[in-house]
Amino acid sequence: MTASTAEILQNSQEYTVSELSSALKRTVESAYDHVRVRGEISGFRGPHSSGHCYFALKDDSAKIEAVIWKGVHGRMKFKPQEGLEIIATGKLTTYPGSSKYQIVIEAIEPAGVGALMALMEERKKKLAAEGLFDEARKQLLPWLPEVIGVVTSPTGAVIRDILHRLEDRFPRRVLVWPVRVQGEGSAEQIAAAIHGFNALEEDGRIPRPDLLIVARGGGSLEDLWSFNEEIVVRAAAESMIPLISAVGHETDITLIDFAADRRAPTPTAAAEMAVPVRAELAVEISNLARRSFACWQRGQEHRRAELRSAARALPKLQDLLAIPRQRLDRASAHLPRALRANTHVYDRRLSMVSGRLTVTALRTQIERGRERVGRLADTAQRCGKAVIEQRRTRLSHIGQLLAALSYKGVLSRGFALVRDAQGHPLHAAADVIPGAALNIEFADGRVDALAQGEPPASKPKPAAKRTTDFGIKKVQGDLF
């Protein structure tokens, strides 16, 4: 190092680390205010706990750190994913804490159709693994829906094509939920429309559709990308109303096509799937009515033929009645003679019985009956006396038992029964309240009394002394 060089270095401006970092930051940000960088996302593990996203963009020979702030990430149409090649728009800055430069990304877009197709394929595998595309989840379309809900743009040609096709085939009531079909926020609007139709009440002011059609005209893969978003695919899979996907042209494939119950190649084809042709139905009904009438005629003719065959096989009425008539004639011829013979038989029996009915025989029968009745009367009299005596003895025993168990016997031995004013017996001195009216029953009558003095202690006293602790006002002599 020469003396002049050393002198120049000694005279150079001196910076602190923070001053140098700030100067570099201003230089980088002023030179690269807004840039577009193409690269592959590397090291992305999802948003940080703070909501910010940190990763790197790389190509074959270089790498640059990148950051997406929380608010920007929430508004992004395309979200960053590991390995996705993107074009990032943002501004370059430095991070003084680690002496690194980085790009603060404001918007990202896939780098070409290839990147979108790769992202779409990866998302398709993920959703298919969750079972959202299973055939078992598919619902059958109603044969003739009363109300059809359409989720599409209200200003495009799609809704006009659907309404025109429905009018030609079989006019139905159509409810349109207007949404954006591309651009920022379109996926959220489409998903909200599907959920909104499902949330309608069947008997509400706005009827709940029997069928949904999610439709959009043709466009590029970027234009149709809203129908590849997870929020839209999940809404279609969760719909309890059968759903037809009619997005793009016949060659356009979106993920909602796999989650929908049916896929239509065009919006017009979706309208054809939704309803049958009324004229064809009328012709078919006419054909069925004609065939039904022809079948009825053939059935009637077949029954007539069977009836004629059965009638020929039946015997004639005269043949059926010939033998019974002969039997009736024969019986009527024999009837007078049989009546005369029967009369003679009963006449002989009457003569025999009347010969046995004499006055002596009748008197004998009456006397025997009188004797039998007398014997029965004597027997009944004896039995009645025995029963009465048995009941009298039993009643006497019961009366003695009642007298032995009655409290009257206790009173006759010098005891008394104390009752309160309501007539309830008092069993203990503790039951008597001073000043209470009492009724005392003796063997020879009752006496009213009034309780005086203090109530006895809670501990009961011996029975012999209990009668002296009542403090009863003496109306007559001592009870004992």
Count the residues in the chain: 480
User: How far apart are alpha carbons 420 and 404 in whole angstroms?
Assistant: 26
Pick the CATH number of 15-111 from 1.10.3720.10, 2.40.50.140, 2.40.70.10, 3.90.550.10: 2.40.50.140
Q: Please state the pTM of the whole predicted model.
A: 0.48
| Whether pLDDT at 465 is above 50 | no
Residue 116: the pLDDT is 72
Residue 472: the pLDDT is 43
Could you state, in order of their start, the residue ranges of all structural domains in the chain? 15-111, 134-276, 278-310, 411-466
Range with the lowest mean pLDDT among 101-110, 149-158, 175-184, 196-205?
101-110
Give 230-262 pLDDT, tens digit per residue.
999 999 999 999 999 999 888 888 999 999 999
Transcribe 398-442 into DSSP letters.
HHHHHHHHSHHHHHHTT--EEE-TTS-B--SGGGPPTT-EEEEEE
Transcribe 92-148 into DSSP letters.
EEEETTTTEEEEEEEEEEESSHHHHHHHHHHHHHHHHHTTTT-GGG--PPPSS-SEE
The CA distances from residue 267 to 3, 46, 439, in Å, are 84, 37, 105
| Terminal Cα-to-Cα distance of the chain (whole angstroms) | 147
The superfamily in CATH containing domain 134-276 is Succinyl-CoA synthetase domains (3.40.50.261)
The CA distances from residue 391 to 376, 383, 394, 396, 402, in Å, are 23, 12, 5, 9, 16
Residue 440: the pLDDT is 87
Residue 433: the pLDDT is 83
Give 313-347 pLDDT, tens digit per residue.
888 778 788 888 888 988 998 898 889 899 999 98
Task: Give strand pairing partners of 53.
Answer: 68
Q: Any residues with CB less than 8 A from the CB of 75 and at least 6 apart, and which?
A: 184
b/e burial code for range 193-218 (CB count within 10 A of at least 16 → b): bbeebbebeeeeeeebbbbbbbbbbe
Range with the lowest mean pLDDT among 304-308, 399-403, 461-465?
461-465
Mean pLDDT estimate for the chain: 84
Residue 314: the pLDDT is 82
- In one-letter notation, the amino acid at residue 386 is A
Give 35-92 pLDDT, tens digit per residue.
888 888 888 888 888 889 999 988 888 888 899 988 888 887 777 877 777 888 888 8
Question: For residue 475, which of 433, 440, 443 has the smallest C-alpha distance?
Answer: 440
Residue 164: how many other CB atoms lie within 10 Å = 13
Which H or E element spans position 205? none
Residue 466: the pLDDT is 42
Give 208-219 pLDDT, tens digit per residue.
999 999 999 888
R_g of the chain, CA atoms, integer Å: 59
Residue 323: the pLDDT is 87
Task: Tell me what percent of the residues of the chain surpass a pLDDT of 70.
Answer: 90
Higher pLDDT, 8 or 201: 201
Identical fold, 15-111 and 134-276: no
Higher pLDDT, 411 or 217: 217
| Whether pLDDT at 155 is above 90 | no
User: How far apart are alpha carbons 306 and 36 in whole angstroms?
Assistant: 93
Lateral strand order in the sheet of 437-442 = 417-419, 437-442, 445-450
Mean pLDDT, rounded, for 350-355: 81
Q: Is 214 within 8 Å of 247 (Cβ atoms)?
A: yes
The CA distances from residue 91 to 28, 34, 61, 158, 351, in Å, are 9, 4, 21, 40, 149
Phi then psi for residue 335, to 5 deg, are: -65, -45
Residue 287: the pLDDT is 92
Residue 318: the pLDDT is 81
| Whether pLDDT at 398 is above 80 | yes
| Whether pLDDT at 303 is above 90 | yes
Residue 114: the pLDDT is 66
Give 1-31 pLDDT, tens digit per residue.
555 555 555 566 777 777 777 777 777 767 7
| Whether pLDDT at 474 is above 90 | no
| Token pair in block for residue 162 | 């659907």
